Every structure is written in C-alpha cells, then in structure tokens.
C-alpha cells in the first residue's frame, strides 16, 4: 500500500518526510515500544499515540518506514528532527488507535504476525 493511500484512509496530515509513493508492507499499532521491537516489520507503518523521540528510535530499529500519530497527537519538534534524520515519514490522524488500525486492515494492509503465520487450510 502506498503511503498516500494510508494518509487518505486515515484522513491523516503529512507532518514530515512523506514521499507519498513510498510503499508500506504492513501495519503495527501500539504504544509500548518493546512491542514495536517485537511485532513491527521492516517496511511497515507504525501507528502510535507516543510522540517522544523513543518512538522514532524504536521505529528505526525495527526498520519502519512511517509513523502515524493517532488520537490527534502531535510529535515534539525534536521527534520530527530525529525522524527526518532517520528518514522516517510522519503522519498524524485524529482517529483513535483501534479505529485507525481497523481502517487500514479493512483496506488490505496486513499485520506483521500474518506474514509469520502458516497458511490456513
């Protein structure tokens, strides 16, 4: 899914570093950074309500391409600067985390655990 599609589905504002043609392969929604490191997949988009630099450090370590802040939250300036240095796109939506993840899933964006699961017969 293209980042521009993610933005449209979530009615999200581009904050920085948003190449609208960037492909994101999976989605991960969480506020616990240890879960980001466990469940986020490289090339994905992270949806989170955390706005400090730790979300960028965790996303970078996991290979995430974009972060979308939920619940109308806005990142701190230092978070934006770090994301720019790490080449991670930032978006923001007013949607709650659950609804934002649901909208993306409904439109075909898969979660990381689905890639690891054996096919169901």
CATH number of the domain to which 38 belongs: 3.40.1390.20
In a domain, 67, yes or no: yes
Residue closest to 14 by CA, chosen among 78, 74, 71, 101: 74
Q: Work out the pLDDT band at 7, boundaries 50, 70, 90.
A: very high
Q: Which residues of 32-60 are buried (b: 16+ CB within 10 A; e: fewer)?
A: ebeebeebbbeebbbbbebbebebbbbbb
Structural domain range at position 62: 3-108
**Which pLDDT belongs to residue 119?**
46
115 located within any domain:
no
Tell me, yes or no, whether 113 lies in a domain.
Answer: no
Residue 18: count of CB within 10 angstroms of its CB: 18
Total tally of structural domains belonging to the chain: 1
Within a domain: residue 119?
no
Position 116 in a domain: no
Query: What does the longest C-alpha to C-alpha distance in the chain come to?
Result: 48
Rounded CA-CA distance 115/52 in Å is: 29
Q: 3-state DSSP call for residue 81? A: helix
Q: Confidence class of residue 108 from pLDDT cuts 50, 70 and 90?
A: very high
Long-range contacts from 29-32, C-beta under 8 angstroms, 24+ separation: 29/70, 29/97, 29/98, 29/100, 29/101, 30/97, 31/97
Q: Please report the pLDDT score of residue 65 as a whole number.
A: 95
Q: Is residue 97 part of a domain?
A: yes
- Does 90 map to a domain? yes
How do residues 26-60 score in pLDDT, each as one tens digit?
999 999 999 898 888 999 999 999 999 999 999 99
State yes or no: pLDDT of 114 exceeds 80.
no
Residue 46 within a domain: yes
The model carries a pTM of 0.91
């Amino acid at each position: 899914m293209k980042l521009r599609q993610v933005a449209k589905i979530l009615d999200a504002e581009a904050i920085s570093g948003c190449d609208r043609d960037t492909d994101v392969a999976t989605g991960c929604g969480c506020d616990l950074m240890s879960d980001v490191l466990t469940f986020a997949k490289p090339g994905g988009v992270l949806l989170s309500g955390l706005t400090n630099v730790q979300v960028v450090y965790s996303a970078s370590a996991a290979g995430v391409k974009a972060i979308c802040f939920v619940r109308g939250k806005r990142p701190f300036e230092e978070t934006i600067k770090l994301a720019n240095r790490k080449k991670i796109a930032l978006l923001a939506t007013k949607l709650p985390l659950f609804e934002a993840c649901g909208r993306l899933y409904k439109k075909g964006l898969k979660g990381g655990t689905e890639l690891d699961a054996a096919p169901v017969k």
